[in-house]
Amino acid sequence: MNSTLPSRSEASRRRGPALDVAVVGGGMVGAATALTLARAGFATALIEAREPARWSVDSEVDLRVVGLAPSSIALLHELGVWASIRDSRAGPYAHMHVWDAATGATIHFDAATEGRDLLGYIVENSLVQWRLWEALDGAGVRRICPAQVEGYEVLDDRVQLTLAGADALSARLLVAADGAGSPLRARAGIDTRGRDYAQRGVVAHVSTERPHQGTAWQRFLDTGPLALLPLADGRSSIVWSLPEDEAQRVLSLDERSFLNELGVASDFRLGCITGTTARAAFPLRLQLAEAYQAERFVLLGDAAHTVHPLAGQGVNLGLRDVTELRDTLVAAREAGHDLAAPHVLRRYARRRRSADSLDALGFDALARIYGWRAAPLVAARGLGVRLIDRLSPIKRKLAEHAAGL
């Protein structure tokens, strides 16, 4: 009789998976995914290389902010974290005003016209992430941090993950929320397509002569869009899209020169720019994954799509991915299906890749249209913007789509 005992790894292979879902990446979208799936009753782990810095109301406002649409706010409310985000430091806005520097054409969105109190909130990325992290333990999420995925193997009924900094684990489904440069996407053999805008988004928080009026302002310039987004403390957060060389020049300006140039670029819509924080910049790219699924594997958030910031929809698209994945997995469980069966994951991938691609390519088309230089095309653009502003049904549809309704 052979009395040899199986090795630990062999024993692990013979047992069922330890978890339903392993989420890799603890940013806003990854943390929201882990929390959402745990609240839906799935045994979930979140794997992240480093825990986020503790958010404090006494700290300076994070330079990276997000415009949360009603669909995102609804998800955060379901997760029980929205009230603490809103009450900590969130800037509500009820209006959005967009204008074209070349033609003067404007389009204005008003929440009251849409039968709503607000269009959304401008919130720091770090605040959203921290509130989600605070809620993980209470939802039963197994936090594995610090840890990194060194590799994974797909078996019949699960994915076996090898981790640096932690013990190996297995799950029925592996979710990659590990950012635009996603190592897991590369390991799964999923390619991307898109283009580099050869631009950077210059960000800072600025004080202005006149109040922001609870309005998100955006001006389209020859060099790219400039957004002034209302912060809770009365300042505005800027996202100024500029060609690489111009972005570097603007970053190197002394403060007085920067304030003057920003005032001119904003058409002094809020009067003179009177103060600024330090400046930073990030590269702008369009990137879409060629597939959102592989065997027992799905992508979401920036790992699946990165878009131009002109519409402020990047994180909102990621949180819509989260909602779709939850609904798909819950439906599979109720039907008695393996939650990572190919037909289940195809349903999620088909719906979200189609929606995300349409949005991403729409934003890209808008960036191209505002890049037109030929006089007849510029005139046509101005006419089109004026028509949209006057055609209430079209404008309402645009507002509903941005809201995720």
Closest CA to 294 of 123, 134, 176: 176
The confidence score (pLDDT) of residue 8 equals 40
- Residue 1 maps to a domain: no
Q: For 163-200, write each residue's pLDDT tens digit.
A: 998 899 999 999 999 999 999 999 999 999 999 999 99
Classify 178 as helix, strand or coil: coil
Q: Which of 287, 397, 293 is nearest to 351 (CA)?
A: 293
Is there a domain that residue 10 lies in? no
Local structure of residue 114 (DSSP, 8 states): G
| pLDDT confidence of residue 374 | 82
Enclosing H/E stretch for 286: strand 280-289
pLDDT of residue 340: 97
Burial 68-98 (b: 16+ CB within 10 A, else e): bbbbbbbbbeebebbeebbebbbbbbbbbbb
pLDDT of the residue at 174: 98
pLDDT of residue 9: 44
Residue 6 is assigned to a structural domain of this protein: no
The residues facing 176 across adjacent strands are 24, 299
Tell me what the mean pLDDT of segment 150-172 comes to.
94
Average pLDDT for the chain:
91
Beta pairing, strands 236-243 & 159-164: unpaired
The tens digit of pLDDT for each residue in 287-342 reads 999 999 999 999 999 999 999 887 668 899 999 999 999 999 999 999 999 999 99
Distance CA 134, CA 51 (A): 11
Task: Work out the average pLDDT over 373-388.
Answer: 76
User: What percentage of residues in the chain have a pLDDT greater than 90?
Assistant: 76
How many distinct helices (H) and strands (E) make up the chain?
12, 20
Angle between helix 314-334 and 342-369 (nearest 10) = 160
User: Which of the 8 DSSP states describes residue 235?
Assistant: -
Query: Tell me, what's the pLDDT at 12?
Result: 44
Span of 104-108, 143-147, 213-217, 238-242 with lowest mean pLDDT? 104-108
Whether the pLDDT of residue 237 is over 50: the answer is: yes
pLDDT value at residue 186? 96
pLDDT of residue 5: 36
- Six token digits for residue 386: 């004026």
Task: Quick: pLDDT tens for 77-121.
Answer: 999 999 999 999 999 999 999 999 988 888 898 998 878 899 999
Q: 31-35, 48-52, 112-116, 352-356 — which is least confidently predicted?
A: 112-116
Whether residue 227 contacts residue 370, with contact meaning beta carbons closer than 8 Å, is answered with no
- Specify the pLDDT at position 386: 78
CB neighbours of 111 closer than 8 A, spacing ≥ 6?
94, 95, 117, 118, 119
Is residue 2 pLDDT above 50, yes or no? no
Asked if the structure places residue 5 within a domain, the reply is no
281: β partners? 202
Whether 233 is in a domain gets the answer yes
Residue 383, classed as helix, strand or coil, is helix
End-to-end CA distance of the chain: 66
pLDDT surpassing 90 at residue 35: yes
Q: If you average pLDDT over residues 33-56, what whole number do you get?
A: 97
Confidence band, pLDDT 50/70/90 cuts, at residue 15: low
Specify the CATH number for the domain of residue 123: 3.50.50.60
- Domain containing 257: what range? 19-403
Q: Tell me the one-letter amino acid at 205.
A: H
Q: pLDDT value at position 361? A: 83
The pLDDT value recorded for residue 352 is 96
Q: What is the mean pLDDT of residues 22-26?
A: 98
> pTM of the entire structure?
0.91
pLDDT computed for residue 270 by the predictor: 98
In a domain, 8, yes or no: no
Name the band, by pLDDT with cuts 50, 70 and 90, for residue 4.
very low
pLDDT of residue 372: 74
Confidence of residue 286 (pLDDT cuts 50, 70, 90): very high
In terms of Cα–Cα distance, which of 20, 118, 79 is closest to 399? Answer: 118
**What's the half-sphere exposure (Cβ side, CA atoms, 13 Å) at 60?**
10
Does residue 12 lie within any of the structural domains?
no
pLDDT at 371: 76
Is residue 2 in a domain?
no
Domain count, the chain: 1
Average pLDDT value for residue range 277-295: 96
